[in-house]
Amino acid sequence: MNIILFGPPAAGKGTQAKLLVERLNMVQLSTGDMLRAETRAGTELGQKVAQIMRDGGLVSDDIVIELIKINFARAEKVGGAIFDGFPRTVIQAEALDHLLAMRGAKIDKVIRLVVDETALMERIAKRFLEQGRNDDNPATYKVRLEAYNSQTQALLPYYKAQDKLFEIEGMGEVEAVYERLQSLLHVVH
Ligand code: ADP
């Protein structure tokens, strides 16, 4: 099974993906985590994307598609992938469909976490104070939200047309959201 967790920045996709990984035999493929690892390691790629990420913009499609190509093999060895923060543009979504089709695989479900933007702003302001991730500062977060609204939201009709789009309420306790996710995926544990 391959699924996409969908929603605005800070909707809780990463948190839910990690819970699924712990309980299912799947891997989390987060382009944000991959890009941050590159910047931390100071690779050429990391240096190239650092400024864009700091400003809250989107890294080029070619770069993130390549990262997914490299990392998808890990998911094939186990029970599938949980895509988190990818795809973010229609070009990325098309590239992902193509990559999976070439390997005889597909996206099974796209799960949208429905969240309240005002609450997210508060959540992220708190995370910024606690964790100090530099793109969580309120001004940059706004830019990230705008990138989501202008480019990533366009994926909703794309997946709706494929009949793969599902929605769950994303506000509330982490475990409560996870329960909803679990019943949607029919996961028993
Ligand atoms: P969040 O979902 O909280 O915004 P991520 O960790 O997914 O955080 O992404 C952090 C940053 O990494 C983004 O603001 C963007 O600059 C870059 N990034 C991550 N994934 C992608 C992607 N699929 N396409 C373009 N840029 C990306």
Distance 32 CA to ligand 1 centre (A): 5
Cα(136)–Cα(144) distance, integer angstroms? 9
| pLDDT exceeds cutoff 60 at 188 | no
Q: Catalytic amino acids?
A: 13, 88, 127, 133, 144
Residues 58-102 have pLDDT tens digits of 999 999 999 999 999 999 999 999 999 999 999 999 999 999 999
Query: What is the rounded average pLDDT of the residues 37-51?
Result: 97
Distance 180 CA to ligand 1 centre (A): 25
Cα(16)–Cα(173) distance, integer angstroms? 11
Please tell me the residue having the least CA distance from ligand 1 atom 9: 32
Q: What predicted TM-score, i.e. pTM, was given to this entire model?
A: 0.93
Residues 104-143 have pLDDT tens digits of 999 999 999 999 988 999 989 998 999 988 899 999 999 9
| pLDDT exceeds cutoff 80 at 189 | no
Edge to edge, what strands does the sheet with 27-30 contain?
A: 27-30, 81-84, 3-6, 109-114, 165-169
Distance 189 CA to ligand 1 centre (A): 31
